[in-house]
A and B are shown apart, each in its own frame.
Chain A
Amino acid sequence: MTTVTMTVNGKSVTANVDPRTLLSQFVRENLRLTGTHVGCDTSQCGACVVHVDGRAVKSCTTLAVSCDGSSVTTIEGLAVDGALHPMQEAFREHHGLQCGFCTPGMIMSAVDIVNRKGNALDEHTIREELEGNICRCTGYHNIVKAVEAGARAMAPGATSIAAE
């Protein structure tokens, strides 16, 4: 067993874990943050995406011990003080989800895309950037619209999605 300490959604957590514990297992099983999902065994589907030190990672392919000292944000940590993140609002407003299973990973990836590529995203860029996230329900049409709108709403000074 190895001790690991990290900040998850703003709270410091320390745990004794089997060194082979994946970050996805750590958040789901140790911390009971089950919004992070596991949809595959081959690092393909992106249902497990979280942010580690501000960058999107696939938590199913990350060892918990490698995040020692890091700051991790999961889907549960995205809304601040009960106010939904603009990307969360955009997914709801544009019907970017059906069964909801891919959704946490999609939203975490989408926020990362905006962080890297800015607030004005075209359809082609969004589709290419979402290559690592699989959705079986939506056909992506509304996810693309949601990401585009969420990106705009994330710009400083933008009005909220629901008010549009």
Chain B
Amino acid sequence: MTTTGIGAPVRRKEDFRFITGQGRYTDDIERPGQAHAYFLRSPHAHANIRSIDVSAARAMPGVVGVLTGEDLAKDGVGGLICGWMIHSKDGSPMKAGAHPALAVGKVRYVGDHVAVVIAETLAAAKDAAEAIVVDYETLAPVVDMNAAVKPGAPVIHDVASDNVVYDWHLGDKAATEAAFAKAKHVAKIDLVNNRLVPNPMETRAAIGEYDAGTEGYTLYTTSQNPHVARLVLSAFIGIAPEHKLRVIAPDVGGGFGSKIFIYAEETVCVWAAKKVGRPVKWTSDRTEAFLSDAHGRDHITHAELALDERGKMLAMRVKTKANLGAYLSTFSSCVPTYLYAPLLSGQYDIPAIYCEVEGIYTNTAPVDAYRGAGRPEATFVVERIVEVAARELGQDPAAFRRKNFVRKFPHQTPVIMAYDTGDYAASLDKALELIDYKNIGKRKRESARAGKLRGIGFSAYIEACGIAPSAAVGSLGAGVGLWESAEVRVNPVGTVEVLTGSHSHGQGHETTFAQLVCERLGIPIDQVAIVHGDTDKVQFGMGTYGSRSGAVGMSALSKALDKVIAKAKKVAAYALEASDADIEFKDGRFSVAGTDKSLAFGEVALQAYIAHKFSGQDLEPGLKEGAFYDPTNFTFPSGVHICELEIDPDTGVTKIDRWVAVDDFGIVINPMIVEGQVHGGIAQGVGQALLEGAHYDETGQLVTASYMDYCMPRADDLPSFTVGATVTPCPSNPLGIKGCGEAGAIAAPPAVINALTDALGHEDVTMPATPQVVWRAARKAALRAAAE
């Protein structure tokens, strides 16, 4: 390991601009002549639009244009798409209702886009929006999933008269039923996975621009995957062909999934730029973000676990209703299906699993991937029911888990996934030691003496990352391949530019990708630049989500570096007058085996470009190589998180006292960055468990639409975390990387709820477990104890 190579906690190259206020986020960009867009949004959850009169608004001072869904339709601009086809049990395709970027005839949730006003200033645009007259015929809304599927419920899309998008299943039903029939014990649980709002601190923003001379469009946008945005805007929405559309995602202030999707606002900005002949800029305010960013989670689940007399797991069956909101967002359909049910085996050897999922329309914002996407929901089911089963059988929750762990690899689960490697017991052992499990009884008694309730909760999670083998996801309905690309450009003086299709919005790729280059080429880290986020620079890429940048994006880079080294060896052979086979490359130098003849990497790069020592017919001049990497399997990061907390039964306030995370991410490029990812993930998971919940009232108004109402985790809500690691390298990619971005958010919610229910002595705690929820649960516990 060099000080800047693989495994070193290198300080981040990107930080200088962020700590000095020189980051460049979309809203920081100002284009010459730019006008400002403001979206008029529906105040109703469900209404027909009888008419929209924009004439008064058009006449307002400073107004450049007012556009509606009719204008979009006239220009042949297509609707937003959902790129993953799910089929119901009966083989029928999912029922995707039309999703115009500006409403046509009907609005389906509060915040739905009705019209856009473009004006000289944002204030002028907002003023003019108030002058738009929309004649709504309000319809009864339905926000609750159970109500939405009742006969006679309001119909949101005509294509789905029962509001069911799909009725899907996975697994062997007959085998599962047979196993349940033999079971000695069946644990059952009903769970609600609360609806969340992703809330990256930078809200979404877009600037659309049109160059009449070249007939080319440019879109600056807050995207995790600018090439996917370009593909969708070109091939499906039909704004412009790909070679006439440049998408730039500059510094992006966090995404957590919510910036994967192609939304109405950027579609409208880029289209409107040509219509009004001006660059058009839109920046979401925070309440707009709450209303119109895709939300996360929102499941209702019943699960059952069948066990034999010794507590060995025999089978699991799960029935889930997943709220998909009013429209299908870009990847929403796969989140509660293929990103969910295949994870229901957890770390356990469960011979049979059967899962049914109904995707349901409601008059709420679309729901799509949010940090973990399906895997936190699956882990919540698995780790809650496993905990309940251990308690019902009177077994120690750690020992019960250990007994059921998968031990032999590869392991084929009954739900698609083939786990390649892992050592679950090693993570558990380390976590037990770090939290000092043997003295938990003593700590509980101490808390009890102080009038507090102490609990400990486990979460042994697994996730499927490194998304994903293209052929595999294609067979499951994905509309795209999920490989990644990288290009390595070596300059004549030996500095290196890496162009990657991965996108960094906090992950630190400018550092970690450069570390891989240093490791391989032996050059100083300040001679490496990582370029990403611009479709005019990077040829193509699938972007960053699903903890895929290390496992997939860096694997592509690794392949490209192999090619660079192979070519450079040939150049060196000519320059050193030796045969290719005798050239060795080590620590940044090419040498002839058994001699003291050698050249530094930069010298060979120069030779490649001046091409004096070889014939351009025998060897092409230059040193630039690209690679596409398509994974052969998912990767399977896993680990054990343990939460220890204390409840004040008088106030319902929960204080997390200790948090131990032991994760197996395979090979780690930069442990400092990886630990940071774990910390952030845990914070979001604790947020889900204790604080956060998006709530619509029965009329479909979002009552949690600001930071006054939606409780974000703050510094004083969280403890410091103890983060440990175990390592089993991933066998399916050249670097052995598994991925770390989502682990904390996946692991944390069940750890917290298992700890709370341990402290309380009953299972009746819902998320978010706010002080009010916990106070009620503590009262219930006290009443029960009194009755006994």
Contacts and interface: CB of A to CB of B under 8 A. Distances in A.
Contacts of A75: 19-21
A139 B681 contact: yes
Given A135-B201, A136-B684, A144-B720, A130 B714 contact: yes
A139 B16 contact: no
B712 A134 contact: yes
Interface stretch (A34-42, A51-59, A62-70, A152-160): A34-42
B682 A139 contact: yes
Contact of A91 (B15, B24, B285, B680): B15
B88 interface: no
B31 to A, nearest CB: 13
A104 B384 CA distance: 40
Nearest to B505: A99
A79 B287 CA distance: 34
Contacts of B18: 97, 100, 103-104
A146 to B, nearest CB: 10
Contacts of A130: 714-716
Contact of B12 (A33, A42, A92, A136): A92
Chain A interface, >50% SS class: loop
Contacts of B25: 34, 37, 101
B403 interface: no
A18 B22 CA distance: 27
B706 A40 contact: yes
B707 A134 contact: yes
A139 B723 CA distance: 13
Contacts of A91: 15, 19
Interface string B188-207: 00000000000111110000
A128 B714 CA distance: 9
A137 B285 contact: no
Contacts of A103: 18-19
Interface string A10-25: 0000000010000000
B20 A84 contact: yes
A97 B254 CA distance: 11
B657 to A, nearest CB: 13
B200 A123 contact: no
A98 B720 contact: no
B251 interface: yes
B76 interface: no
Contacts of A47: 201
B16 A92 contact: yes
A38 B252 CA distance: 14
B254 A136 contact: yes
A138 B720 CA distance: 11
A141 B22 CA distance: 24
Contact of A99 (B202, B712, B744): B202
Contact of A95 (B676, B707, B715, B718): B676
A44 B21 contact: no
Interface in A102-123: 102-104, 107, 123
Contact of B679 (A78, A92, A138): A138
Nearest to B14: A100
Contacts of A38: 27
Contact of A131 (B15, B199, B676, B714): B714
A100 B714 contact: no
Contacts of A88: 19-20
A75 B17 CA distance: 11
Contact of B506 (A28, A92, A137): A137
B679 A139 contact: yes
Contacts of B684: 136, 139
Contacts of A45: 201, 286, 707
B28 interface: yes
Interface string B10-49: 0110111111111111011010000000000000000000
A136 B286 contact: no
Contacts of B404: none
B631 interface: no
A42 B708 contact: yes
B721 interface: yes
Interface string B656-681: 00000000000000001101110111
A73 B378 CA distance: 48
Given A37-B202, A88-B19, A139-B718, A100 B253 contact: yes
Contacts of B161: none
B282 interface: no
Nearest to B202: A101
A5 interface: no
A142 B253 contact: no
Contacts of B19: 75, 84, 88, 91-92, 97, 100, 103-104, 107
Contact of B251 (A18, A42, A100): A100
Contacts of B707: 40, 42, 44-45, 134
Nearest to B687: A136
B286 A99 contact: no
Contacts of A18: 123
A101 B20 contact: no
A131 B715 contact: yes
B761 interface: no
Nearest to B9: A95
B683 A99 contact: no
A136 B712 contact: yes
- Which of A34, A36, A93 counts the most B-chain CB atoms under 10 A from its CB? A34
Given A41-B286, A98-B506, A34 B720 contact: no
- Among A40, A42, A88, the most chain B Cβ lie within 10 Å of the Cβ of A40
Contacts of B254: 98-99, 101, 136-137
Interface string B683-709: 110000000000000000000001110
B680 A98 contact: yes
B481 interface: no
A33 B708 contact: no
A45 B256 CA distance: 18
A99 B506 contact: yes
Nearest to B683: A139
B385 to A, nearest CB: 27
Most chain A CB within 10 A, of B675, B716, B718, is at B716
A6 interface: no
B508 interface: yes
A4 interface: no
Contacts of B28: 28, 34
Contacts of A134: 201, 707, 712, 714
A138 B680 contact: yes
Given A99-B252, A135-B201, A126 B23 contact: no
Nearest to A21: B123
Contacts of A141: 676, 679, 718, 720-721
Given A47-B201, A130-B714, A98 B508 contact: yes
Given A42-B708, A93-B11, A139-B721, A98 B202 contact: no
Contacts of A33: 21
A132 B188 CA distance: 42
Interface centre among A32, A76, A127 (most CB of B within 10 A): A127
7 contacts: A36-B21, A41-B706, A45-B707, A127-B716, A131-B714, A135-B715, A140-B714
Given A34-B25, A37-B201, A97-B19, 11 more contacts: A38-B27, A40-B706, A78-B20, A97-B15, A98-B254, A98-B680, A99-B200, A101-B200, A127-B715, A139-B718, A144-B715
